[in-house]
Amino acid sequence: MTRPDVRIKRVYDDPASSDGQRVLVDRIWPRGMSKERAQLDEWCKEVPPSTDLRKWYDHDPDKWDEFTRRYRKELKDADRAAALDGLRKRAKKGRLTLLTASKALDISQAAALRDLIAGVG
């Protein structure tokens, strides 16, 4: 069985045909971005981390491991688990690109979701 092809990208980067399905995984709409320019297949508002967790984390690389542990725990909540399951189903159909406004892609919630959906880590 092959791993799902899940990628991450800044929502501000130009859409590409190679993106596959494009899903925004931020709670707040990205500043200055129009819906037309974003070219989303979905805005998954249920899957981002809680405001408290996001503020605690503040994209501090030293908190990454603890952030991912706490975030995975949050994703077990019924609404979030259902949203995560929806992303997994999308990934089974082909390439899935998770979009975020975060400048630090490698330590963003999109990276944590990618790893979880793709079965990494």
Give tens-digit pLDDT for 76-97: 999 999 999 999 999 999 999 9
Any domain includes 44: yes
pLDDT in tens, 39-61: 999 999 999 999 999 999 999 99
Is the Cβ–Cβ distance between 20 and 33 less than 8 Å?
no
Any domain includes 24: yes
Share of the chain above pLDDT 90, in %: 94
Amino acid at 77: D
Residue ranges in the chain assigned as alpha helix (H): 35-38, 51-57, 64-74, 78-92, 109-118
> What tokens does 98 get?
């998770």
pLDDT at 119: 84
Which structural domain range is residue 68 located in? 6-104+111-118
Any domain includes 1: no
Any domain includes 41: yes
Other Cβ atoms less than 10 A from the Cβ of 74: the count is 15
Other Cβ atoms less than 10 A from the Cβ of 113: the count is 27
Any domain includes 12: yes
Any domain includes 54: yes
Domain tally for the chain?
A: 1
Any domain includes 66: yes
Angle 109-118/64-74 helices, nearest 10 degrees? 60
